[in-house]
């Protein structure tokens, strides 16, 4: 995707995820600076969900943003026109949005978008927010190594992880299943 000055959907205005990003898209579109890739979803998708959550009309929000003001002033205007969500509503909204694409009806779209963007190898991207951040360069590809191997081992040296398993007997005479501990010791040089 084109490099564009949009906030991460995880950045909050007031206490809401995504709202600031929606304002950025509206402002850039009004100035003719929003890349065409974003045009199809203006007022749809997450924009629509956010406007519906605040009980406002998206087109009226666009007009309000064009008239100027800070993000907080525009959010207050939304509260005045629509509804001011309570703390619990905000929590549910934020968690809903943060997890979109993870095991829900958006998962298939997320997988398709990852494929289109050449990110099918990115198992760290499991939500739409993570995809957006990765696609826009805010979520770099992790340096992944198999468990127990160092990031840069000197040649000729080997590292291992020792694992020990032990069970503990219950202290009382009642019959209880033994507890199981798995202790992982730090990587040790062989």
Same domain membership, residue 71 and residue 30: yes
Confidence tier at 143 by pLDDT (50, 70, 90): confident
Asked if 98 and 92 touch (Cβ cutoff 8 Å), the reply is no
Same domain membership, residue 124 and residue 165: no
Q: What is the pLDDT of residue 139?
A: 85
Alpha-carbon gap, residue 12 to 189, rounded angstroms: 45
Query: pLDDT digit string (tens) for 46-95?
Result: 999 999 999 999 999 999 999 999 999 999 999 999 999 999 999 999 99
The DSSP element (H or E) to which 167 belongs, if any, is strand 163-168
CA-based end-to-end distance of the chain: 46
Q: Domain boundary at 135, 161, 180, which?
A: 135
Same domain membership, residue 88 and residue 159: no
Alpha-carbon gap, residue 178 to 151, rounded angstroms: 37
Asked if 109 and 131 touch (Cβ cutoff 8 Å), the reply is no
Same domain membership, residue 49 and residue 119: yes
Q: Domain boundary at 114, 135, 156, which?
A: 135
Residue 96 has pLDDT above 90, yes or no: yes
Asked if 160 and 148 touch (Cβ cutoff 8 Å), the reply is yes
Across the range 136-148, mean pLDDT stands at: 74
Same domain membership, residue 114 and residue 185: no
Residue 140 lies in a domain: no
Residue 2 has pLDDT above 70, yes or no: no
Residue 2 lies in a domain: no
Asked if 51 and 57 touch (Cβ cutoff 8 Å), the reply is yes
Asked if 164 and 180 touch (Cβ cutoff 8 Å), the reply is no
Residue 120 lies in a domain: yes
Confidence tier at 146 by pLDDT (50, 70, 90): low
Q: Which residues, at least 6 apart from 176, have a Cβ–Cβ distance to it below 8 Å?
A: 170
Structural domain tally of the chain? 2
Say which residue, 189 or 26, is predicted with more confidence.
26
Q: What is the pLDDT of residue 1?
A: 52
Q: Domain boundary at 90, 105, 135, which?
A: 135
Q: What is the pLDDT of residue 66?
A: 97
Say which residue, 179 or 140, is predicted with more confidence.
140
Residue 47 lies in a domain: yes
- Work out the angle at residue 16's Cα, subtended by the Cα atoms of residues 105 and 42, and round it to the nearest 5 degrees: 60
Say which residue, 140 or 154, is predicted with more confidence.
140
Q: What is the pLDDT of residue 154?
A: 46
Alpha-carbon gap, residue 71 to 50, rounded angstroms: 14
Alpha-carbon gap, residue 15 to 49, rounded angstroms: 16
Closest CA to 69 of 81, 77, 59: 77
Query: pLDDT digit string (tens) for 161-184?
Result: 444 444 444 444 444 444 433 333
Asked if 125 and 119 touch (Cβ cutoff 8 Å), the reply is yes
Give the chain's mean pLDDT.
Answer: 82
Say which residue, 150 or 124, is predicted with more confidence.
124
Same domain membership, residue 119 and residue 33: yes
Confidence tier at 4 by pLDDT (50, 70, 90): confident
Q: Domain of 43?
A: 12-135
Residue 156 has pLDDT above 60, yes or no: no
Residue 24 has pLDDT above 70, yes or no: yes
């Amino acid at each position: 995707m084109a490099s564009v000055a949009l906030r991460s959907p995880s950045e909050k205005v007031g206490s809401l995820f995504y709202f600031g990003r929606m304002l950025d898209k509206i402002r850039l579109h009004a100035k003719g600076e929003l890349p065409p890739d974003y045009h199809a979803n203006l007022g749809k998708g997450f924009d629509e969900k956010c406007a519906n959550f605040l009980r406002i009309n998206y087109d009226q929000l666009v007009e309000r943003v064009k008239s100027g003001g800070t993000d907080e002033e525009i959010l207050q205007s939304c509260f005045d026109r629509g509804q001011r969500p309570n703390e619990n509503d905000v929590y549910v909204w934020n968690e809903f949005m943060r997890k979109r694409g993870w095991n829900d009806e958006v998962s298939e779209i997320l997988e398709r978008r990852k494929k289109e963007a050449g990110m099918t190898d990115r198992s760290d991207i499991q939500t739409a927010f993570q995809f957006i951040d990765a696609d826009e360069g805010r979520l770099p590809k992790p340096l992944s190594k198999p468990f127990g191997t160092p990031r840069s081992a000197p040649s000729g040296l080997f590292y291992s992880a020792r694992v020990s398993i032990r069970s503990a007997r219950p202290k009382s005479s009642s019959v209880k299943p033994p507890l199981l501990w798995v202790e992982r010791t730090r990587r040790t040089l062989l």
